[in-house]
């Protein structure tokens, strides 16, 4: 306690730091008021002298992209999963300039791609990299109709594929009495384009016919033969064998009209006794046995996609 010299009234002792504390409190209140003013201002955050950088407005921040989403996946990983080779092998192929993305040769490692939209080629051949679509080749037997089901109880390709893959559709048709290569796919757009006449996808047939083949028949067929529903011409024609009044011929055409091969050969005096389709575009029947179904390779699917502009 101390005494006021003018009044003699006792007063409490003043703490040595009380004036300093009051000054700091006043300063703190002033700083808080400044913060409140800033908060009510432009909303861009609070600035203080000890900050190195002004705070960033949320709208100015760069968007954070998902590692495996919008930025995509590393090209090496995508191609390794597609069976092209190990990641190390793919890296070597990139160094050798053998891989192209969307038509441009890849020159650097570590490129990211979106498997859903990108087109990748290896040594000039398109590679199918998506895993959500499948395409099969079937060697359709004689007597089986090209349909997924039949209300008359006849054997169908649908009976043969069963539950092989959900959403399978056949690409075009083969007559009931025609054998050979039939494609089936879960890719609706690919099926549409392969079957549509405007894309002019070639089909190759091997036909056994009755009679001898005239020397000039190939030229005549390439020039065009008039049928009841319009002219038809082949892309190529070749005599493969002849024996005991029977001949085997190979013809390639991009027509898709009903019974077109049988009607064409009948028109030139060579009725068909057996007909087998051996190729659709770049996909070959090769040595597939009757009734066998195989999944196309990624390279084969890629070739089909490239053929029809996908």
| Residues taking part in catalysis | 175
Contact 187, 176 (CB under 8 A): no
Total number of residues shown for the chain = 310
Query: DSSP characters for 71-95?
Result: T-EEHHHHHHHTTS--HHHHHHHHH
Give the count of beta carbons closer than 10 Å to the beta carbon of residue 246.
14
Distance (Å, whole) CA 308 – CA 184: 16
Return phi, psi of residue 51, to 5°: -80, 140
Distances (CA, A) of 46 to 51, 52, 58, 62, 294: 10, 13, 14, 21, 67
Q: Which DSSP category does 111 fall into?
A: -
Distance (Å, whole) CA 228 – CA 260: 11
Contact 299, 307 (CB under 8 A): no
Return phi, psi of residue 89, to 5°: -65, -45
The burial class, CB within 10 Å (0-12 / 13-18 / 19+), for 20 is exposed
Distances (CA, A) of 230 to 5, 195, 216, 301: 130, 19, 22, 33
Apex 177 CA angle, 174 and 180, nearest 5: 50
Contact 194, 300 (CB under 8 A): no
Q: Look up tokens 């036909």; give the residue.
A: 207
């Amino acid at each position: 306690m101390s005494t006021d010299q003018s009044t003699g009234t006792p007063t409490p002792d003043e703490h040595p730091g009380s004036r300093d504390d009051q000054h700091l409190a006043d300063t703190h209140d002033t700083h808080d008021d400044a913060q409140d003013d800033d908060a009510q201002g432009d909303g861009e955050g609070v600035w203080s002298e000890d900050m190195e950088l002004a705070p960033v407005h949320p709208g100015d921040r760069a968007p954070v992209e998902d590692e495996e989403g919008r930025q995509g996946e590393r090209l090496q990983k995508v191609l390794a999963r597609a069976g092209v080779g190990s990641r190390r092998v793919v890296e070597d192929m990139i160094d050798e300039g053998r891989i192209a993305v969307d038509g441009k040769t890849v020159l650097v490692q570590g490129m990211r791609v979106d498997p859903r939209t990108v087109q990748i080629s290896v040594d000039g051949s398109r590679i199918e990299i998506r895993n959500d679509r499948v395409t099969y080749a079937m060697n359709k037997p004689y007597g089986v109709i090209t349909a997924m089901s039949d209300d008359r109880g006849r054997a169908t390709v649908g009976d043969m594929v069963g539950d092989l893959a959900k959403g399978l559709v056949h690409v075009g048709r083969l007559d009931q009495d025609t054998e050979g290569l039939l494609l089936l796919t879960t890719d609706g757009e690919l099926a549409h384009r392969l079957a549509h006449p405007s894309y002019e996808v070639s089909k190759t047939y091997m036909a056994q016919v009755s009679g001898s083949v005239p020397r000039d028949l190939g030229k005549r067929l390439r020039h065009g033969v008039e049928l009841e529903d319009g002219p038809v011409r082949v892309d190529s024609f070749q005599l493969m064998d002849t024996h005991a009044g029977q001949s085997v011929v190979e013809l390639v055409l991009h027509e898709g009209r009903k019974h077109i091969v049988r009607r064409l050969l009948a028109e030139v005096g060579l009725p068909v006794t057996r007909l087998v389709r051996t190729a659709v575009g770049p996909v070959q029947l090769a040595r597939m046995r009757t009734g066998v179904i195989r999944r196309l390779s990624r390279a084969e699917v890629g070739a089909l996609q490239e053929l029809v502009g996908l």
